Amino acid sequence: MPRFSRAELESFRDAEVPDLLGPSPRLLFVGINPGLWTAATQTHFAHPVNRFYPALHAAGIVERRIDPGAGMDEEDREHLRARGIGITNLVRRATARADELSTEELVAGGAELLALVERVRPAVVAIAGITAYRSAFGQRKAVAGLQPEPFGGAQLWVVPNPSGLNAHHTVATLAEAYAEPARAAGILPG
């Protein structure tokens, strides 16, 4: 696994990480924005303590272990695409913490996300982070889970954020939460 100094990580502030999209994603996971480690490795949800990939593996959504802290290789990316999984972010620019983003950035990112969903047409969209979802879409009273209204033609789920800073969840509870939209997208059996 690479090691980065604080100064090296800071040099990735405001960098972008390309979306991970295959020709026909069925389930599009949406992070809040890239962290500095994610920008440094060009791998979504990449930080050694982020529980996204361990939760996907525990739920059976992916069939192989992925070490995001080291940065995904093309074989890892192809495995996700072949499973029908795409990954993007509400806001493209990397920050050390999501709370560095303004509400205006989140709202603008929500509009960009809607355009992306209408273009690539996944069956299900899963936004990882209730607070960011509420801010981006003005849904102050939204709760986690399946949302009542479709989003650009897709089912919309709000799932817990896998960041190590979210102490309310474990890999097991994240796996349970991520399995629901995966079943809805046909990636896991119903």
Specify the pLDDT at position 168. 82
Q: Parse the chain into domains and list their residue ranges.
A: 6-184
What is d(CA 56, CA 29) in angstroms, rounded to the nearest whole number?
Answer: 11
Specify the pLDDT at position 151. 97
Specify the pLDDT at position 117. 98
Q: What is the pLDDT of residues 50-77, one digit of tens each?
A: 999 999 999 999 999 998 788 899 999 9
Percentage of the chain beyond pLDDT 90 is: 91
Sort 129 into a burial class: Cβ within 10 Å, 0-12 / 13-18 / 19+: buried
Sort 81 into a burial class: Cβ within 10 Å, 0-12 / 13-18 / 19+: middle
Mean pLDDT of 131-135: 96
Q: How confident is the model at residue 166 (pLDDT cuts 50, 70, 90)?
A: confident
12 to 1, 36, 93, 117, 181: CA distances (angstroms) = 18, 6, 9, 27, 32
- Residue in the structure block whose two tokens are 């709202």: 107
Tell me the pLDDT of the chain averaged across its residues: 95
Q: How confident is the model at residue 163 (pLDDT cuts 50, 70, 90)?
A: confident
Model confidence pTM above 0.85: yes
Specify the pLDDT at position 147. 98
What is d(CA 14, CA 168) in angstroms, rounded to the nearest whole number?
Answer: 28
Mean pLDDT of 95-102: 94
Q: What is the pLDDT of residues 168-179, one digit of tens each?
A: 899 999 999 999
Specify the pLDDT at position 5. 93
Spelled out in words, what is the top-level CATH class assigned to the domain 6-184? alpha beta
DSSP state of 95: B
Specify the pLDDT at position 187. 97
